[in-house]
Amino acid sequence: MSIVNGKGIFDAARSGHYAVGAFNTNNLEWTRAILAAAQETNTPILIQTSMGAAKYMGGYELCLNLVQQTVKSMGITVPVIMHLDHGNYEAAKECIEVGYTSVMFDGHDLPFEENLEKTKEIVALAHAKNITVEAEVGSIGGEEDGIIGEGELADVEEAKKIAATGVDYLACGIGNIHGKYPANWKGLHFDRLKELAAEIATPLVLHGGSGIPKEQIQKAISLGVSKVNVNTECQLAFADATRKYIEAGKDLEGKGYDPRKLLAPGTQAITDIVKERIDWFGTPEVK
Ligand code: G3H
Ligand code: ZN
């Protein structure tokens, strides 16, 4: 199947009270691992590149080609959405040009009126090409690829204004944090999520999905979260499995140093964690 936009998939998730996972890719192994998890569970999936990861891999066009060609060569039949994660204005425009099927314009660090205006512009450009758009209100705490958020809760009136631009999904700060959660983290702000979901029909996005307890994720989904972003947990799973392989001395046995062998346990670990998260999110199988 060729890659698709996120429109029908996330609207169905919001009305069906489940979520579809959004997983960050960093290279070929990540891409294959995420796609394998989607295919094995027969569920739709969103694969995304941050600006930093795209730069690392060689640019947006290369990332798009990588995903498209991997979908083809692996014979993936489930819907795959190719998304820009936390893009600035220029990156969002570039990904629309290049042919991503979905983009996030993250204007949370701009004055609100500028975030609103630029979101409107990106929505107009993207929708003219049948590309879906995610925007952000309030900020996600922590740091991801140089994007630093203080973690303010989304303001309901501001969120309503951004939703009214016609964005297809909306990331809202509700106490969530990128990266590892500190021991003194107070948990998600469900009261704010309820207020947002009562006023906004747009599918809501939970960033910083790594390390949130399953019960909190599932409660957030029951209240209107339809897209859950996960990156750090895949990185930790990959690093942990690779460390075990090397600490067991397997790279020193035969041709265990061959990257096709050395990277295999980490790749499988990503597939395993993505499959587990798909189960947590309640993503239904494709009919
Ligand atoms: O945009 C991507 C994410 O929000 C992932 O956050 O690395 O904490 O899972 P995470
Ligand atoms: Zn994020």
| pLDDT tens profile 213-238 | 999 999 999 999 999 999 999 999 99
Annotated catalytic, 85?
yes
Q: Is 232 annotated as ligand-binding?
A: yes
| pLDDT tens profile 97-142 | 999 999 999 999 899 999 999 999 999 999 999 999 999 998 777 7
d(CA 153, CA 139): 7
| pLDDT of 183 above 90 | no
d(CA 206, CA 212): 10
Residue from 105, 229, 273 to probe ligand 1 pocket by mutation (most atoms less than 8 Å from CB): 229
Q: Is 24 annotated as ligand-binding?
A: no
Distance 250 CA to ligand 2 centre (A): 35
pTM to 2 decimals? 0.96
| pLDDT tens profile 264-282 | 999 999 999 999 999 999 9
- For residue 2, what pLDDT is reported? 79
| pLDDT tens profile 4-45 | 999 999 999 999 999 999 999 999 999 999 999 999 999 999
> Which one from 85, 145, 155, 168 is the annotated catalytic residue?
85
Name the pairing type of β-strands 80-87 and 45-50: parallel
Q: Which of these ranges, 103-107, 151-155, 160-164, has the smallest mean pLDDT? A: 151-155
SS (H, E, C) the chain: CCCECCHHHHHHHHHHCCCEEEEECCCHHHHHHHHHHHHHHCCCEEEEEEHHHHHHHCCHHHHHHHHHHHHHHCCCCCCEEEEEEEECHHHHHHHHHHCCCEEEECCCCCCHHHHHHHHHHHHHHHHCCCCEEEEEECCCEEEECCEEECCCCCCHHHHHHHHCCCCCEEEECCCCECCCCCCCCCCCCHHHHHHHHHHCCCCEEECCCCCCCHHHHHHHHHCCEEEEEECHHHHHHHHHHHHHHHHCCHHHCCCCCCHHHHCHHHHHHHHHHHHHHHHHHCCCCCC
d(CA 100, CA 267): 24
Helix axes 89-98, 112-127, angle to 10 degrees: 0
Q: Give, using CA atoms, the residue closest to atom 6 of ligand 1.
A: 208
Who lines ligand 1 at CB under 6 A? 24, 85-86, 144, 178-179, 207-210, 229-233
What domains appear along the chain, each with residue ranges and CATH number?
A: 6-281 (3.20.20.70)
| pLDDT tens profile 74-88 | 999 999 999 999 999
Q: Report residue 274 CA to chain centroid gap.
A: 12
d(CA 2, CA 19): 21
Query: What is the rounded (10 degree) CA torsion for 215, 9, 103, 199?
Result: -60
Tell me the pLDDT band of 182, cut-offs 50, 70 and 90. Answer: confident
Tell me the pLDDT band of 193, cut-offs 50, 70 and 90. Answer: very high
Look-up of token digits 């600006």:
51
Distance 24 CA to ligand 1 centre (A): 8
| pLDDT of 143 above 80 | no
Distance 252 CA to ligand 2 centre (A): 38
Q: Is 231 annotated as ligand-binding?
A: yes
Name the pairing type of β-strands 132-137 and 142-144: unpaired
| pLDDT of 148 above 80 | no
Instruction: Look up residue 278 and give its two tokens.
Output: 């798909």
* 54 or 147: which leads in pLDDT: 54
Tell me the pLDDT band of 149, cut-offs 50, 70 and 90. Answer: low
* 34 or 145: which leads in pLDDT: 34
Q: Which atom of ligand 1 sits closest to the CA of residue 233?
A: 9
Question: What is the rounded average pLDDT of the residues 242-255?
Answer: 98
